[in-house]
Amino acid sequence: MTFGPLLKNPLLNPLDILRFLIFGMEGQDDTGLLGKITVWAVLDWFSSLAMIVGGVLPYIPQYLKIKKTQNADGFSLYVCLTLLIANILRILFWFGNHYEIPLLIQSIFMNFTMLAIIQLCVKVKQSKQVIHGKEKLFTDFDWRFFWKWTDFRSYLEFVAVFTLSTSLLTYLLIGNVIFVEALGFTSLFIEAMLGIPQFYDNYVSKSTLGMSRVMVFLWLAGDSFKTLYFFTKQSPIQFCICGALQIAVDLAILSQTVWFGSTPGRRKGLAGSHVVQ
């Protein structure tokens, strides 16, 4: 095993050197299926699988916490709104710029996960109501209560309207390169800002009680992994830039857990609860 064949390659890049140092040069005369299965290929398949399921993993601890405590005050539903919009736009971006299939499948999984969390939060909040007032519905078109609706169906209606309208716009402008690239950047920038609603909610409440710290740690781990994935897969530049922004936001939220500690702050609904974070 020598560096000769690698260094003579005119398309030499750091990723090739990394592959060489870790896995060595692949045989040039390998034949058959087993000859094509290398350690690098196995890791490549594993990383693709991790991208598909890894995006939803951070929300499992939060889902279980809300279900266990029957209190959704510590979780901002605007996180779900952010991810739904971002992933719907990312799916549409694929039709104009075919990025990796695992990223496309991840977006589909994420949308179903966000809807499951919204359904749970709405159910929990309904069970907490002592006096049932007038319901706040999407079809009321009262923007004072946008994303504060009292029934799950309203959230589904908004997602359906948004998906249909953006799909129609994308269908009409799919041949416009500027539109397609702007669509991709918008979807990924929105996703990069996904932690901002949670950061703001923590700041206003002066507390992180009720927010799953495990979820935030998994955010950071997942965003770090996928940003590395974007660079190694040479994904569109939008993915790389926005992945770095997500890491910065994750670190900001983690800093709040240190700054505010576990005090209830202004979260009166959680003042008497003892939540393991």
pLDDT at 275 over 60: no
* 38 pLDDT tier (thresholds 50, 70, 90): low
Q: Tell me the percentage of the chain whose pLDDT exceeds 90.
A: 21
State which amino acid sits at residue 116: A
Q: Give residues with Cβ within 8 angstroms of 25, minimum separation 6.
A: 1, 5, 6
Task: Kindly calculate the radius of gyration of the chain based on its CA atoms and give it in whole angstroms.
Answer: 22
Length, in residues, of the chain: 277
Quote the DSSP letter at residue 70.
T
User: Which structure tokens are listed for 87?
Assistant: 């992933």
DSSP alpha helix (H) spans, the chain: 4-7, 14-23, 32-36, 39-54, 59-69, 77-96, 101-128, 152-173, 177-192, 196-205, 213-232, 237-260
Q: What pLDDT is stored for residue 212 in this prediction? A: 72
* Distance of alpha carbon 72 from alpha carbon 128, whole angstroms: 10
* 54 pLDDT tier (thresholds 50, 70, 90): confident
User: Which structure tokens are listed for 155?
Assistant: 């959230």
Give per-residue pLDDT as tens, 80-119: 998 999 999 999 999 998 888 888 888 999 999 999 999 9
Say whether 267 sits in a helix, a strand or coil. Answer: coil
Q: What pLDDT is stored for residue 58 in this prediction? A: 78
Q: What pLDDT is stored for residue 87 in this prediction? A: 93
* Distance of alpha carbon 249 from alpha carbon 198, whole angstroms: 10
Q: Tell me the percentage of the chain whose pLDDT exceeds 70.
A: 76
pLDDT at 24 over 70: no
Q: What pLDDT is stored for residue 159 in this prediction? A: 96
Q: What pLDDT is stored for residue 217 in this prediction? A: 84
Q: What pLDDT is stored for residue 85 in this prediction? A: 94
Give per-residue pLDDT as tens, 208-256: 776 777 778 888 888 888 788 778 777 777 778 888 888 888 898 888 8
pTM above 0.75, yes or no: no
More confident residue, 188 or 210: 188
More confident residue, 116 or 70: 116
Q: Are 173 and 179 in contact (CB under 8 A)?
A: yes
* Distance of alpha carbon 219 from alpha carbon 244, whole angstroms: 12
* Distance of alpha carbon 219 from alpha carbon 57, whole angstroms: 9
* Distance of alpha carbon 246 from alpha carbon 161, whole angstroms: 27
In this structure, what is the dihedral angle of CA atoms 40, 42, 46, 52, given to the nearest 10 degrees? 100
* Distance of alpha carbon 125 from alpha carbon 40, whole angstroms: 48
